A and B are shown apart, each in its own frame.
Chain A
């Protein structure tokens, strides 16, 4: 079959196979064979190879839909947070659920980063670092003159930063699974 194959179809099959290299061999072969079957059926019905391939779109674009679905499915089955987060980020532009989850996760990590930095500073300079309150200000960070305000957290800043880290990790995992399950077909 390959010897008689139309050069454009052979080239498209090669490009598609290459673009699907992340998928298991059996899946990749099946997708390429099905594309070939589709094109030849269209040609049998009177269409040209060129028009049929144009209707499928560029090989890489065509492959990306399979790749994305595979990434979501494998990250969900692996259950590993970095995989889940990677798959979530790749879908942020295509899914409202992924975008919402991404924004909440980003917010949680920005808060954790901020409170973590303050907690580290608290270790080296406990007198000037903390959550400060007076009649004129309320902030977390470093104060020039500790006598102008009252520090509210005291030694609790470090445990709170650690709790924030744990919550962010759990939230990242939970939201990524939630969003990816909404993207992937339910099993």
Chain B
């Protein structure tokens, strides 16, 4: 049982790696977010199981790549400044390209999984 759970966990981790960037850009399409907010949405809303120590290096990398931009913001209702991330024009273009690829891949995978039918025990 524990081995099955571990195997499922590993499989999900591998799949998650490919979709975390897409999820990040999709979240930022709506509005600017700070790191913890992005992390909580990825883990809560999307169920990606992104580790705390993973999100900030990813944000840093995406910013270096020119897909997102950041700004320290002092909010009136919060004691400390927070670093907010927003999509750049290049990030929006990348999101459109990634979303197209994702939809195409999902359609093919769904067709393949549907063709295979339910697994017999």
Task: Tell me, yes or no, whether A38 is within 8 Å of chain B by CB.
Answer: yes
**Set of chain A residues within 8 Å of B61, measured between Cβ atoms:** 69, 184-185
Chain A: minimal CB distance from B43 (Å): 11
Q: Is the interface of A mostly helix, strand, loop or mixed?
A: helix
- Residues from chain B with a CB closer than 8 A to the CB of A184 are 61, 64-65
One of B4-12, B52-60, B108-116 contacting the partner:
B52-60
Among residues of A, the one whose C-beta sits closest to the C-beta of B66 is A187
- Residues of chain B lying within 8 A (CB to CB) of residue A55: 51-53
Q: Is the CB of B56 within 8 A of A31?
A: yes
Beyond A55-B53, A185-B62, whether A37 also contacts B83 by CB under 8 A is yes
Residues of A contacting B57 with CB < 8 Å?
62, 65-66, 69
Whether A34 sits at the interface, judged by CB under 8 Å, is yes
Any chain B CB within 8 A of the CB of A35? yes
Which residues from chain A contact B67 at a C-beta distance below 8 Å?
Answer: 185
Residues of B within 8 A of A (CB): 34-36, 51-54, 56-57, 60-62, 64-67, 70, 72, 80-83, 90
11 CB-based A-B contacts, threshold 8 Å: A27-B60, A31-B60, A35-B56, A38-B56, A41-B36, A56-B52, A56-B53, A57-B52, A69-B61, A185-B67, A187-B66
Q: Which 5 A-B pairs have the closest CB atoms?
A: A185-B65, A65-B57, A55-B52, A57-B53, A56-B53
Question: What residues of chain A have their CB less than 8 Å away from a CB belonging to chain B?
Answer: 27, 30-31, 33-35, 37-38, 40-42, 52, 55-57, 61-62, 65-66, 69, 73, 184-187
